[in-house]
Amino acid sequence: MGSASNPLVTSSVVDDSPLPSNLTQDDLKKLAAYKAVEYVKSGMVVGLGTGSTAKHAVARISELLRQGKLRDIIGIPTSTTTHEQAVSLGIPLSDLDSHPVVDLSIDGADEVDPALNLVKGRGGSLLREKMVEGASKKFVVIVDESKLVKHIGGSGLAVPVEVVPFCCNFTRGKLEELFREAGCKAKLRVMSGGEAAAVTDNGNYVVDLYLERDMGDLEAASEKILRLPGVVEHGMFLGIATTLIVAGKSGVTVKDRFG
């Protein structure tokens, strides 16, 4: 089983009331997001995540600001999409240059393993997300139960790697070679409905790694990826999450990571 560390993860059910059977996946995402925003206090610098779950947290923060229940919040967006959403909702924004320490970040994840290691970046914002969330005192991850996996890559969906455009196919091939024993297929991400490469907010490309088997030690895997010239960053967030909030049909569960 792949591992990056051996943290103590404690779990508590904060609401085990039966939920309506007709709740959609988006409803569950909203439940998790609203629970996470309870961690936000007035005066905080807050990292604003990106994606279909995080957008609910951003909207909820804006709502509480309008109601006067939160004050003096400064948001640090993790993508141009989140920046645009926050501006439209009137959330005051800044960046890591002005606020190098973030009190709390809230974001979704594409996969979460039992040690609270994550896969993020299937939306293409992994570099900025990792910069902001890595600078955070507390990082609350919000997911619905479909994102829980036994090991990183276990969903069969992509583990993304951001790469520079120069000779990107060369880099793609090197990445595939690294994890050949795990049955890796590395594919350059293309724009929906076309053949042109998808471009990140930083002007880079993304290579998606599809794994048939567990890649093993995650810290070692991370180091191997980052040593490759042409690689900017990968979408494994190892040992960064401090709290996980999972919304499922049976209720909302909070897991805290120590160590």
> Would you please indicate which residues are annotated as catalytic (active-site) residues?
129
Give the separation between CA 142 and CA 210, rounded to whole angstroms.
23
Give the separation between CA 36 and CA 144, rounded to whole angstroms.
13
**Where do we find the tokens 């948001």?**
75
Closest by CA to 237, choosing from 96, 156, 97, 128, is 128
Helix (H, G, I), strand (E, B) or coil at 104: strand
**Where do we find the tokens 């996996």?**
149
Could you give the angle at the alpha carbon of 202 between the alpha carbons of 199 and 205, nearest 5°?
A: 35
Please provide residue 168's backbone torsions phi and psi, each rounded to the nearest 5 degrees. Answer: -65, -30
Q: Pull the structure tokens for residue 59.
A: 């909207």
